[in-house]
Chains A and B, each alone.
Chain A
Amino acid sequence: MIGENVPPAMCYYTKLEGSGGKCRTCLVKVTKGSEKDPRPMPKLVASCKTAVMDGMEVRNTTSPDVLDARKGITEFLLINHPLDCPVCDQAGECKLQDLSYEHGLSKSRYDFHRREFEKIDIGDKIQLHMNRCILCYRCTQVADQLTPERVHGVINRGEVSEISTYIENVVDNDFSGNMIDVCPVGALTDKTFRFKSRVWYTKPVNAHRNCPKCSGKVTLWYQGEEVLRVTGRKDQWNEVEEFICNDCRFEKKETNDWIVDGPADINRHSVVSKNQFTYELPVLQKQIEQSNMTEQ
């Protein structure tokens, strides 16, 4: 039962404390409150912020109310989204793209001017496209909880709120790169991967190294023999298993820096697995040969 019945979430992240409750995409209908109090909950509730009770009955996709609400919320999330997927580097692994594909309308009904911001460089490795942001606050929670001092946050309120370092300070602590991984949309992207390729032309390979700062367990994204991008390993909910440091993410882009574990597990319905350009994995082959050599 677990799996396809888990509601989509844009803001909730199990590894970040206090996340959730903002995007409202995970609304579900509670038809029975609990064993003691079997009354249904009067309104749809955000499943990420609702405590589970004994005997609680929850309807997710089986309830037309939920599907209808989710459709409306998707439309609201997309109101100010520029829909520049052909340009965006996140396309193919973007949760907002998945959400709008499953729950959205094929056309936008919004005719007015979408809000526009300038691109901001957060340091020389991370780029912030505020246009694409859906204000899930995950990245600020990464800054709060993973790094010693908070250097960026959300300024202004309501419709005009935006993620910012305020006076374009450089975010340069060791774990700042993780905000790229937690961003569900293409608002925070890796500048070293900018426009290099599309996600579905690269091959994800799990690898590790002995890193003094982090666990060193990453996914390398190969095109041919070239490592185009390094990200944290993501589970089936698109959440990173372990946060990785900036050294691993931005500096180590040679196969020699890594010990390859094997191809990353990608859902076969994902566009990443649609990669028709089947490259061999010379990397793996070489390492196997090398290990054979050392054994002899």
Chain B
Amino acid sequence: MQSLTNRSKVVSDKTMTWKERMYIPAILAGLRITIYHFFKKKVTIQYPEQKREHSKYFRGVHVLKRDDEGRENCTACGLCAVACPAEAITIVADERKKGEEHLYREEKYSAEYNINMLRCIFCGLCEEACPKDAIYLTETISTSNYHRDQFIYTKDMLVEGIKSGERIDINSRRQGVREGAM
């Protein structure tokens, strides 16, 4: 049969000559390749210490945003959960009481907000669905764990810190979502 490309090699079962059975040229040829790779640029990095730069479109663990005054944006409308194709999000809503105006932006807030990271496929449909600018995917990678229940991220793991230093900058991502590029 005629081969489709010229890259295939025809396997033959001819007996090796005495010189070939010594294997020394073959070993030397192999070593030559090994030593050649010592002087090449390394393709791997030392991960936890060194980190690669992410693509603009990278989608990692979610963050629940606060507004400029530190109030949570999420009003537990449930659109992220209904948009989620993996059914990873569950929300329980509650009514804001008097005196909690500095914590929650609107009269309803999410008392529980759980994302099952084992179910999540990081598609970003939740941030597209969100009408309140509340949920965004960050560049953080979801960490590994020994137990399945630890993959259910609760609200205290998702909401960003209230202090200015603990805020997570998502401006470039927000712009991308609005333009429909991500």
Instruction: Report if B160 contacts A (CB, 8 A).
Output: no
Instruction: Report if B82 contacts A (CB, 8 A).
Output: yes
Which of A86, A198, A200 has the most chain B CB atoms inside 10 A of its CB?
A86
| A236–B56 CA distance with the chains assembled, in angstroms | 47
Q: Is the CB of A87 within 8 A of B108?
A: yes
Q: Is the CB of A87 within 8 A of B107?
A: yes
| A200–B79 CA distance with the chains assembled, in angstroms | 10
Q: Is the CB of A195 within 8 A of B132?
A: no
Chain B positions within 8 Å of A, measured between CB atoms, are: 75-79, 81-82, 84, 87, 93-95, 106-108, 131-132
Whether A194 touches B106, Cβ cut-off 8 Å, given contacts A86-B79, A86-B132, A277-B87, is no
In the complex, which residue of chain A has the Cβ closest to the Cβ of B74?
A86
A196 proximity list for chain B (CB < 8 A): 93
Pick from B81, B87, B108: contact of A195, CB under 8 Å: B108
Count of A-B contacts with CB under 8 A? 39
Whether A86 touches B82, Cβ cut-off 8 Å, given contacts A276-B87, A277-B87, is no
In the complex, which residue of chain A has the Cβ closest to the Cβ of B85?
A276
Cβ of B58 to closest chain A Cβ, rounded Å: 27
Chain B interface, DSSP helix/strand/loop, else mixed: loop
Q: Is the CB of A276 within 8 A of B93?
A: no
In the complex, which residue of chain A has the Cβ closest to the Cβ of B93?
A195
Instruction: Report if A201 contacts B (CB, 8 A).
Output: yes
5 CB-based A-B contacts, threshold 8 Å: A86-B106, A87-B106, A195-B76, A195-B108, A276-B87
Whether A87 touches B87, Cβ cut-off 8 Å, given contacts A195-B108, A200-B82, A276-B82, is no
Q: Is the CB of A274 within 8 A of B82?
A: yes
Instruction: Report if A225 contacts B (CB, 8 A).
Output: no
B95 proximity list for chain A (CB < 8 A): 194-195
Contact with B along A70-94 (1 / 0, CB 8 A): 0000000000000011110001000
Chain A positions within 8 Å of B, measured between CB atoms, are: 84-87, 91, 194-198, 200-201, 271, 274, 276-277
| A159–B13 CA distance with the chains assembled, in angstroms | 96
A198 proximity list for chain B (CB < 8 A): 77-78, 82
Cβ of B94 to closest chain A Cβ, rounded Å: 7
B107 proximity list for chain A (CB < 8 A): 87
A277 proximity list for chain B (CB < 8 A): 87
**Extra inter-chain contacts (18) besides given A195-B94, A200-B78, CB under 8 Å:** A85-B77, A86-B131, A86-B132, A87-B77, A87-B106, A87-B107, A87-B108, A194-B95, A195-B76, A196-B93, A197-B93, A198-B78, A198-B82, A200-B82, A271-B82, A276-B82, A276-B87, A277-B87
Cβ of A276 to closest chain B Cβ, rounded Å: 6
Cβ of B112 to closest chain A Cβ, rounded Å: 12
B81 proximity list for chain A (CB < 8 A): 201
Cβ of B84 to closest chain A Cβ, rounded Å: 8
| A158–B176 CA distance with the chains assembled, in angstroms | 44
Q: Is the CB of A87 within 8 A of B75?
A: yes
| A6–B63 CA distance with the chains assembled, in angstroms | 45
Q: Is the CB of A86 within 8 A of B87?
A: no
| A27–B126 CA distance with the chains assembled, in angstroms | 38
| A274–B82 CA distance with the chains assembled, in angstroms | 8
Q: Is the CB of B82 within 8 A of A84?
A: no
Q: Is the CB of B93 within 8 A of A86?
A: no
| A194–B76 CA distance with the chains assembled, in angstroms | 13
| A200–B81 CA distance with the chains assembled, in angstroms | 11
Cβ of B131 to closest chain A Cβ, rounded Å: 5
B78 proximity list for chain A (CB < 8 A): 197-198, 200-201
A87 proximity list for chain B (CB < 8 A): 75, 77, 106-108
| A194–B95 CA distance with the chains assembled, in angstroms | 8
Cβ of A120 to closest chain B Cβ, rounded Å: 15
| A153–B132 CA distance with the chains assembled, in angstroms | 35
| A271–B108 CA distance with the chains assembled, in angstroms | 21
| A196–B78 CA distance with the chains assembled, in angstroms | 12
| A85–B130 CA distance with the chains assembled, in angstroms | 12
A271 proximity list for chain B (CB < 8 A): 82
Cβ of A294 to closest chain B Cβ, rounded Å: 38
A91 proximity list for chain B (CB < 8 A): 77
A86 proximity list for chain B (CB < 8 A): 75, 77, 79, 106, 108, 131-132
In the complex, which residue of chain B has the Cβ closest to the Cβ of A83?
B131
B75 proximity list for chain A (CB < 8 A): 86-87
